[in-house]
């Protein structure tokens, strides 16, 4: 399987949930007279809330988040041609079949590439700078997954570093995944 892994590796799609958010729009200037009518400070503009809504009323991919809540990273696989998708899909991008199954992903991978966010962090993450993001090749499957990497300072990360996916609560009950260094 490893010999074909490189050929089948999918490049991360732009719509991957953890893709860098679009540039933040300039903050609207609110005249002092309107300050009392502006929304509470903790309410963020919709466009800057780049974590998806996760319930079945919002997404057909809610099972992805249900499994994250159970601590497991998962995705979809096409029953017709066997293609493994990332991110999970509602229809196979190759054959258009909607006959997909959910599969758990390996609990280990290796850093293919990484970078560090040193300045200009997205709104709400200013206090977490610096932090690392990267591409991880999951062991045994032809998937290269983008995500944040925790566990050690970015300056100590290395290509090939062993990591494992982990689930975490982003603070409002929604779940997301990231990677954490192993050993
Ligand atoms: Zn297919």
Q: Is 126 a member of any domain?
A: yes
Residue ending a domain, among 70, 105, 140, is 105
Number of domains in the chain: 2
For 4, the 3-state DSSP assignment is helix
Are 96 and 152 members of one domain? no
pLDDT of residue 133: 97
Query: Measured in angstroms, how far is the CA atom of residue 81 from the centroid of ligand 1?
Result: 5
Same domain for 169 and 134? yes
Contact present, 22 and 47 (Cβ < 8 Å) = yes
**63 occurs within a structural domain:** yes
Full domain range(s) for residue 177: 106-183
Output the pLDDT for position 47: 58
Q: Which residues surround ligand 1, an ion (CB under 5 A)?
A: 78, 80-81, 83, 92, 94-95, 97
Assigned domain for 40 exists: no
The continuous run of DSSP H or E covering 6 comes out as helix 2-8
**CA of residue 94 to ligand 1 center, whole Å:** 5
Q: Are residues 117 and 164 in the same domain?
A: yes
Answer yes or no: do 76 and 110 share one domain. Answer: no
Is the omega angle on the peptide bond into residue 12 within 30 degrees of 0, that is, cis? Answer: no
Q: Are residues 90 and 61 in the same domain?
A: yes
Q: Are residues 82 and 111 in the same domain?
A: no
Q: From the CA of 102, how far away is ligand 1's center (Å)?
A: 13
Whether residues 64 and 97 share a domain: the answer is yes
**β-sheet bridge partners, residue 165:** 179
pLDDT along the chain (183 residues), means of 10: 44 46 48 48 62 86 96 98 97 98 98 95 84 98 97 97 95 93 92
Is residue 29 included in any domain, yes or no?
no
Q: Within this chain, do residues 93 and 135 fall inside the same structural domain, yes or no?
A: no
| Residue at 47 is within a domain | no
Residue 167 in domain: yes
Whichever domain contains 178, its CATH number is 2.40.50
CA distance 158 to 179: 14
Q: How far is the CA of 88 from the centre of ligand 1 (A)?
A: 12
Domain annotation covers residue 94: yes
Domain check: are 96 and 115 in the same one? no
């Amino acid at each position: 399987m490893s010999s074909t892994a490189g050929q089948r590796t999918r490049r991360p799609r732009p719509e991957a949930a953890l893709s860098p958010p679009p540039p933040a729009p300039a903050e609207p200037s609110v005249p002092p007279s309107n300050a009392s009518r502006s929304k509470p400070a903790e309410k963020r503009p919709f466009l800057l809330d780049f974590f998806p809504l996760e319930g079945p009323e919002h997404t057909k991919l809610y099972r992805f988040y249900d499994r994250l809540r159970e601590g497991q990273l998962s995705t979809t696989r096409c029953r017709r041609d066997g293609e493994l998708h990332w991110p999970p899909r509602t229809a196979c991008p190759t054959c258009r079949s909607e006959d997909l199954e959910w599969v758990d992903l390996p609990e280990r991978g290796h850093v293919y590439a990484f970078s560090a966010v040193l300045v200009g962090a997205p709104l709400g993450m200013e206090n977490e700078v610096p932090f690392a993001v990267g591409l991880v090749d999951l062991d045994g499957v032809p998937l290269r997954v983008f995500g944040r990497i925790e566990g050690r300072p970015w300056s100590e990360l290395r290509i090939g570093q062993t990591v494992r996916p982990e689930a975490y609560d982003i603070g409002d009950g929604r779940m997301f995944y990231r990677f954490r260094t192993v050993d």
